[in-house]
Structure 1
Amino acid sequence: MRLHTTTWGEGDRVALLVHGIMADHRTWRRVGPALAARDYRVIAVDLRGHGASGRADSYTLEDHARDLVESLPSGAELAIGHSLGALALSRAVAELAPRRAVYVDPVWYLPDGEHGFRPELFAAAKALTRERIRQGSPRWDEEDIDIEVETIGVWDESTAQGLMGVVGVDLMPAAPVVPSLVQLADPSELVSPEAAALLRERGFEVRTVTGAGHTVQRDDFDGFMAGLEGWI
């Protein structure tokens, strides 16, 4: 599927941004302009079933990865993916071949079992109110809360069901395909300290944004950008 894209800046260097589940390109509303100010041309996608991209009959991990390859230019200077977007990017990175990759609180393992990944809980997010979003993300700006309401409203909750095929599967890369940074929330609910140590052993640089929640770029924009120093 050819994905909807949004672009900031006209720099010679290209940066790619891939959002997480339930979001769209607007999760990068501050990151895109900040990178553009550093002379990047920034391209952000809306994944299938999200934002202005079309809905689909299938939402597998491989669908998302193929869409990225079809929709984004290869050979970018930088590619950043968050959560599901980080997982999809890790599956597409060999073909996209950016010079550097950043994986923000990536979903490289969805646990199985009674307390594991449950698509119906994501579907229930359709009923989230502004007040519930604010309670869950007290550090977000009001604009980000507005955006969250809008993006959840247009999101196809079937995307969560599409991930059932990778539940219980270890998707952590064996090695970085390109020089890669993993940026984590504090604490990360997706990457344990043991997994972070293993990533370092495998050749990834791992950094934590102190006090930030899962959507790091919204929870602590300044900390997020500071955590990218040396990579952007």
Structure 2
Amino acid sequence: MKLHTHEWGTGDRLALLVHGIMSDHRTWRTVGPALAGRGYRVIAVDLRGHGASPRGEGATPADRYGPERLAEDLVDTLPAGADLAVGHSLGGLALLRAVDRLRPARAVYSDPAWCFAQPDLFDPVVFTHFRQATREQIAVLSPRWAAADVDVEVATLALWDPDSALGLADYYATAALPGTPAVPSLVQLPDRSFLTGPEDAERLRGAGYELRTVAGAGHTIHRDDLAGFLASLDGWL
């Protein structure tokens, strides 16, 4: 499936951005221009079932939105051989599944949704309820976000297909951490990740990933602390 994309910049280097669940390319509204200012042409996608991209097709939510479908879309849409690819949350899972085919020079996984530190925390039905969240509720849940980011979240939720959460249930029932990275890879974490626990972090280091933590940030690091997000990518941009 060809995905909707949005671009910033005209630089000689290429960066790819892949958002998390319930969002779309607008989550990168400050990151895209920041990377463009560092000499990149930046391409951000809307995953299937998100933003302006098509909805998934198939008999079940897993058929429409399983991780491999998300990865195939990235390969169908994005150029191979980019200088940098960044995936946040679900975008980190999609990027992981596509990275051996996209072959970016460097990959950054921002609090990636590869598995849950406590597996019982993932309830796809609970995720679908977020579609009804009000602006006020989003602001309370994300106190460090700018008002514009809260507005974007309201807008992206209205376009999101909740079946994309239901389609991940089978995957997370047996999810496991990845092995050796296919390209040089950084895992960026908040202070307390509900996805990657301390033991998981050590296993990822042992597999060859570099890990860095952004102090004080929550799950959506780039919206909580843009300066901290960019600083933690020192040497990777």
TM-score, normalised relative to structure 1 = 0.97
| Partner SS, residue 167 of structure 1 | helix
CA RMSD of aligned residues (A): 1.2
| Partner SS, residue 206 of structure 1 | strand
Q: CA–CA distance in 1 between the matches of 2:76 and 2:56?
A: 15
Structure 2's unaligned 5+ residue stretches are 58-63
Structure 1's unaligned 5+ residue stretches are none
| Partner SS, residue 168 of structure 2 | helix
Q: CA–CA distance in 2 between the matches of 1:112 and 1:69?
A: 31
Counterpart residue number, 2:24: 24
Counterpart residue number, 1:204: 209
Q: Single out whichever of 169-178 and 8-17 deviates more from structure 2.
A: 169-178
Answer yes or no: is the 8 Å Cα contact 2:23–2:160 preserved in 1. yes
- The ranges of structure 1 where at least 4 consecutive aligned residues each deviate by more than 6 angstroms after the TM superposition are none
Matched, 1:161 2:162: no
Counterpart residue number, 1:50: 50
Q: CA–CA distance in 1 between the matches of 2:116 and 2:206?
A: 22
Counterpart residue number, 1:131: 136
Q: CA–CA distance in 2 between the matches of 1:219 and 1:155?
A: 22
- Which amino acid is the alignment partner of residue 174 of structure 1? G
Q: CA–CA distance in 1 between the matches of 2:104 and 2:178?
A: 16
Counterpart residue number, 1:10: 10
Answer yes or no: is the 8 Å Cα contact 2:118–2:194 preserved in 1. no
Query: Where do residues 1-232 of structure 1 align in structure 2 (5 Å cutoff)?
Result: 1-57=1-57, 58-110=64-116, 115-232=120-237
User: Displacement, 1:111?
Assistant: 7.3
| Partner SS, residue 181 of structure 1 | strand
- Percentage of identical aligned residues: 58
| Partner SS, residue 139 of structure 1 | coil
Answer yes or no: is the 8 Å Cα contact 2:116–2:196 preserved in 1. no
User: Displacement, 1:36?
Assistant: 0.5
TM-score, normalised relative to structure 2 = 0.95
Q: CA–CA distance in 1 between the matches of 2:213 and 2:95?
A: 20
Answer yes or no: is the 8 Å Cα contact 2:19–2:47 preserved in 1. yes
Q: CA–CA distance in 1 between the matches of 2:72 and 2:118?
A: 25
User: Displacement, 1:110?
Assistant: 4.2
- Which amino acid is the alignment partner of residue 135 of structure 2? R
- Which amino acid is the alignment partner of residue 66 of structure 2? T
User: Displacement, 1:145?
Assistant: 0.3
Q: How many residues align?
A: 231
